[in-house]
Chain A
């Protein structure tokens, strides 16, 4: 089979590099996950060097699953964040793509503005949102609520309606630094960044929609909603699948946003939990890592089943 030699040779560097990239760290992680391995231990200094003598079997996994209480919370939170972001971006993306699908004055500029968030560095995205926009005191969130309160206070001095406004409570700005609200902050900023991606892809796909079919539907008296449901949505099935898949790939390993928004307040996803363990307990971090790999692969298999086939045609 000499005819296969050249293609194999051409693929070899890429395949080998990725194989090494996957197997060496993964192999080491697998090994560490079965031994006792900590970075600092005064009591048991022998645990600070990775060695087969410190074999622990499934001990690290049992510790992570049963004793360290955060594992299931982190899994749940990972899926919550990924799921919410996907729903938001696909929903908003569809609406915006349909909205800008027709020509109107300044469409080019609108498109450029809409797409910009996608190019912003995730670290900048997080810093920008949590400090300058969502901060309950100094951010726009805090300033807006403060402004609203002072408006209400000044309205209370009005002659007739003043009595009505004095019944209003003082508004409290929402803080995004608690466990649950900071997960929402993460969802907002990631959705802000990735909605443009969905818009871009749906917009391109809409341009290839069959216009004759649409006109026929209009002649048949189909309203806008049923046109969207019965023609546009099926046409967008594949782009939607792609948006979902790519986002799942990227968001399952979300880290910068979580770290910047939620340092130490309990909001965590799996990668962040691994990072926390890794500050000392490498064994537990590795066990969590292996389980994260398993989770990612379950999601991957599921997604590739759905769209893998159509991608190859």
Chain B
């Protein structure tokens, strides 16, 4: 065996496995620790060998009201994703198939709103929603805010998907007398279905993981899982088991969801620039 095949057959795979294990280790450790009691979790002698317990998960649902936070996360993320798509699809559609002189500027401007530091506008937002609109700590507010912060990325992604649909197909449809809704429903959506699904998914993931606005614009009613994590991080060290269980339950669904759609995510995330 020459040097090259040794590398290809042994060294490359073991290096790759090593790196993958290293990167996955913190997640594994979190799940692993969630089955230890708080006392065992900090004892070196129980580092790898211990009696697994579901105590933390039982405790989490009984004392932390996990399900309320989880339900809030689901409600806000689902509705925010739907709202973002309802607003984003027509806009991206018009930009891709009927671009005007300013389309490019509008797209760049939209993306630039993502760079607005949230901390800079937090106080006005709290002030407005609490004192004027009275919608502080409501699902409605969180859904609107999540939609707004994800709208630029969603429009960009959809725009790149739509742009890949050949214009001729649309033209042919127009010739046959299809109106605009028929055009979207019967021609564009079936063709852009994959792109639409991955956009929705990514939007959902970003909504689920959002931790700035959801923590600061809620108290109890609309508080999501990020708020639960923020609230439970304080007691340093002593509650590793509990902390791990809550964390595992908070990120579990989304990590599994991510596994299923990793391939589709790439094109969306790169605005179609990487093929």
Residues of A within 8 A of B (CB): 4, 6-8, 10-11, 13-15, 17-18, 21-22, 24-26, 28-29, 32, 96, 99-100, 102, 104-107, 109-124, 126-129, 131-133, 135, 137-138, 140, 143, 146-147, 192, 195-197, 200-201, 204-205, 208, 238-239, 242, 246, 249, 252-253, 255-256, 260, 270-272, 274-275, 278, 282, 285-286, 288-290, 292-293, 296-297, 299-300, 304, 308, 310-312
Contacts and interface: CB of A to CB of B under 8 A. Distances in A.
Interface in B228-259: 229-230, 233, 236-237, 240, 243-244, 247, 250-251, 254-255, 257-259
B124 A32 contact: yes
Contacts of A311: 271, 273
A227 to B, nearest CB: 14
6 closest A-B pairs by CB: A289-B120, A25-B121, A28-B124, A119-B258, A14-B91, A7-B94
A99 B237 contact: no
Nearest to B244: A132
Interface residues of B, number: 90
Contacts of A286: 120, 123
Contacts of B117: 252-253, 270-271, 274, 289, 292-293, 296
Given A100-B16, A146-B44, A239-B273, A116 B148 contact: no
Task: Give the interface SS of chain B, mostly helix, strand, loop or mixed.
Answer: helix
Contacts of B212: 253, 255-256
B20 interface: yes
A223 B262 CA distance: 32
B243 A131 contact: yes
A26 B116 contact: yes
A4 B98 CA distance: 8
Contacts of A299: 115
A258 B208 CA distance: 20
B123 A132 contact: no
7 contacts: A14-B155, A127-B233, A127-B247, A143-B47, A208-B274, A242-B274, A285-B119
B23 A114 contact: yes
B209 interface: yes
Contact of B21 (A13, A113, A123, A128): A113
A96 B19 contact: yes
A217 B117 CA distance: 47
Nearest to A273: B119
A290 B100 CA distance: 32
B195 interface: no
A173 B171 CA distance: 68
A271 B16 contact: no
B110 interface: yes
Interface string B86-111: 01101101110110100010101011
B42 interface: yes
B177 interface: no
Contacts of A270: 117, 119
